Amino acid sequence: MGQKFSILCSQSSTKSKSTSAKMKKPNIAVMYFPGNNCETETLKAVKAAGMNGMIVRWNTKLNLSEFDGYIIPGGWAYEDRIRAGAIAAKDPVMNAIRKEAGKGKPVLGICNGAQVLIETGLVPGLKDKVEMALAPNINPFISGYYNTWVRVKNVGRKGAFTNALGKDEVLHLPIAHGEGRFVTRDKSLIKTLEKNNQIIFQYCDENGKVSDKFPITPNGSTMAIAAISNKKGNVMAIMPHPERAIFERQVPYSAKTDKKTDNIRIFESMKNYILKK
């Protein structure tokens, strides 16, 4: 009887610990650089996806290794001086994020955050240098800053930010940027990105047909690229703003309710990835 009771207690304890581990919410650092302006809605998206989070300033004294993942939001970090993302990429706090990314932790850069990741070389991350650029937009009607609603197609593998999405699933979300055109001088790099499944989202029409022509691709991006990742898939740079369209009330011609849109699944994928690690 004593042995049986001991086994039952042991099983109960193990189950309790397992359940507790599964229920623990990932803790996300939403990074803030001077000039960012999307940190609040990004934090709301994190919480709507079932994670904990906090806005963390660039000059924080916190130990960033205590967080489970990181998001660099949109805006104009350091006023986009020199070029978009260039100064923030050199900020000492990015060394800490680079270190955590090397451990496999997820890092998401949205719009200006994507520009920062490109400038650090974390994306595409194949060499220890900057391999791509997010160049000024090209479209036939307006130069510079442009905002509109676009559709993007999930064309990548099931990674840290897409595991809750279906293959070839189409998302409807906004863009708002002046330098969002993925380009590179290395002619072989795009083929390498395709081979490695590092192209995650491409601009497409409402039926999922990818096109690099305006207005489907709003900025002239190479191969209609809207988002790319590093080779491991745990760091992603995306130009459109999923955090601005996570509730139906935020989407044109939709019901004005707090029902979540499919865009929330980018953040839910991040949560899934952390919990499975």
Spell out the residues 6+ positions from residue 88 whose beta carbon is closer than 8 angstroms to its own.
Answer: 33, 58, 72, 77, 78, 94, 112, 116, 119
Tens digits of residue pLDDT in 44-84: 999 999 999 999 999 999 999 999 999 999 999 999 999 99
- The 3-state DSSP class for residue 170 equals strand
Is there a contact between 129 and 92 (Cβ–Cβ < 8 Å)?
Answer: no
Tens digits of residue pLDDT in 2-35: 444 333 333 434 343 443 445 589 999 999 999 9
The pLDDT score that the predictor gives to residue 23 is 58
The pLDDT score that the predictor gives to residue 277 is 83
Q: Give the rounded distance of the alpha carbon of 22 from its chain centre.
A: 23
Looking at the domain that runs over 25-276, which CATH code has it been given? 3.40.50.880
The pLDDT score that the predictor gives to residue 166 is 95
Q: Please state, in angstroms and rounded to a whole number, the distance separating the CA atoms of residues 64 and 54.
A: 12
* CA distances, 143 to each of 165, 209, 256 (Å): 33, 25, 33
Residue reference for tokens 């939709």: 254
The pLDDT score that the predictor gives to residue 141 is 83
The secondary structure element, H or E, covering residue 107 is strand 107-110
Q: How many CA atoms lie within 13 A of 184 on its CB side?
A: 20
Tens digits of residue pLDDT in 99-108: 999 999 999 9
Report DSSP state, residue 207: T
Segment 224-242 shows an average pLDDT of 98
Q: Please state, in angstroms and rounded to a whole number, the distance separating the CA atoms of residues 78 and 139.
A: 26
- pLDDT above 90 covers what percent of the chain? 86
CB atoms within 10 A of CB 172: 17
Check whether 233 has a pLDDT greater than 50: yes
Confidence of residue 194 (pLDDT cuts 50, 70, 90): very high
The pLDDT score that the predictor gives to residue 192 is 97
Tens digits of residue pLDDT in 195-226: 999 999 999 999 999 999 999 999 999 999 99
Q: Give the rounded distance of the alpha carbon of 90 from its chain centre.
A: 20
Segment 240-253 shows an average pLDDT of 97
Query: Closest Cα to residue 223, out of 263, 186, 266, 194?
Result: 194
Q: Which amino acid, residue 117?
A: L
The pLDDT score that the predictor gives to residue 143 is 80
Q: Please state, in angstroms and rounded to a whole number, the distance separating the CA atoms of residues 102 and 82.
A: 27
Q: What is the mean pLDDT of the chain?
A: 92
Segment 216-244 shows an average pLDDT of 98
Active site residues: 111, 241, 243
